[in-house]
Amino acid sequence: MDIKSYYSRMNLPEPIVPALQAVRLLKGQTALVTGANSGIGRAIAIALGRAGANVIVNYVARPEDAEEVAAEIRSHGQGAMIVHADVSDEAQVQAMFAAAVREFGTIDILASNAGMERNAPFHEMSVAQWDAVMNVNLRGGFLCAREAVREFLRRGVRPEVSVAAGKIIFTSSVHEVIPWAGHVNYAASKGGLMLLMKSLAQEVAEKRIRVNSIAPGAIRTPINAAAWSTPEAYAEVEEIGRAAVWLASDGAYGVTGQAVVVDCGHLTMPGFNPAPSSP
């Protein structure tokens, strides 16, 4: 399904889609994308597929949506498989990586994207809300990145596809640095993810493993559907997909330990100071 039809099905305003040719920068590589059946993860998976990578489409619910993403990737000539796994569960993450390696031989790119919000005023925030967000956004990033690094170290550099042994791209948020009242668990998880990313980048740079984040602002995805009618600057998910392709490619070989902010200028707006929102 083309992006305009998808947006219309999701009741989203028509997206602005730059007419860029898909260049197969990632030919011969395999990418695993978590939370790939909707929103930003879906766009990253499709963009990596269009750029020539085989893609493992991870999901935790709605397999039919994951299958649709996989079908779209196959229609561009790449391999794709869907794999169920809760990224916060060690055994499920390990089984997912094992299945991916069995199918495609190795993994070159991890887009650790799965994330969630469970908002509440701080004094009312439950341990369940705190844990749910930390477990998916931070522990999930740790578990998936650890399996990816293990695979990159096992395999080493394959010069025919990339000068790097592997690439990890986390989906962070502008809230890795901007405090967000009413969303303390979410902002804390993204702040944690920022130093996970930077510390890991430092640790594995000499092994030629690159670790970066994309820090989206307000992107038109279901996670912030309540705010779509506000006049703020909303970026489309495709912007994140294109950033992911660049970060995964050797075009970004000099880039590691960085968060690339993709927010269509949201942060430059004087009024960008998200007010506490009710859960």
Q: Which residues are catalytic?
A: 186
Binding part of the chain for ligand BGC, among 1-9, 73-81, 168-176, 198-206 by CB under 6 A, reads 168-176
Find the residue with minimal CB distance to ligand BGC: 173
Which one among 25, 85, 138, 174 touches ligand BGC, defined by CB under 6 A?
174
Nearest to residue 191, comparing CAs of 213, 221, 168?
213
Binding part of the chain for ligand BGC, among 20-28, 153-161, 172-180, 253-261 by CB under 6 A, reads 172-180
Radius of gyration of the chain measured on its C-alpha atoms? 18
Task: Give whichever of 183 and 210 is closer to ligand BGC, judged by the CB atom.
Answer: 183
Q: Does 218 contact ligand BGC by CB under 6 A?
A: yes
Q: Does 223 contact ligand BGC by CB under 6 A?
A: yes
Least Å distance between CB 238 and ligand BGC?
A: 17
Please give the Cα distance from 167 to 208 (Å, whole number): 9
Q: What are phi and psi of 84, to 5 degrees?
A: -80, 130
Give the CA distances from residue 202 to residues 243, 247, 271, in Å, rounded to whole numbers and listed in that order.
Answer: 21, 17, 35
Which one among 8, 94, 106, 224 touches ligand BGC, defined by CB under 6 A?
224
Q: Does 173 contact ligand BGC by CB under 6 A?
A: yes
Q: Does 118 contact ligand BGC by CB under 6 A?
A: no
Give the CA distances from residue 160 to residues 26, 28, 154, 165, 188, in Å, rounded to whole numbers and listed in that order.
Answer: 11, 8, 17, 11, 40
Q: Does 171 contact ligand BGC by CB under 6 A?
A: no
Angle at 212 between CA 160 and CA 191, to 5 degrees: 160
Task: Give whichever of 118 and 175 is closer to ligand BGC, judged by the CB atom.
Answer: 175
Q: Does 175 contact ligand BGC by CB under 6 A?
A: yes
Q: Does 42 contact ligand BGC by CB under 6 A?
A: no
Residue type, 93: V
Binding part of the chain for ligand BGC, among 92-100, 102-110, 135-143, 218-226 by CB under 6 A, reads 218-226
Least Å distance between CB 137 and ligand BGC?
A: 10
Please give the Cα distance from 256 to 245 (Å, whole number): 14
Nearest to residue 169, comparing CAs of 46, 264, 47, 44?
44
| Residue 59: partners with Cβ closer than 8 Å, 6 or more residues away | 35, 36, 37, 65, 66, 82, 83, 84
Q: Where do contacts with ligand BGC occur on this chain (CB under 6 A)?
A: 117, 173-175, 217-218, 223-224, 227, 274
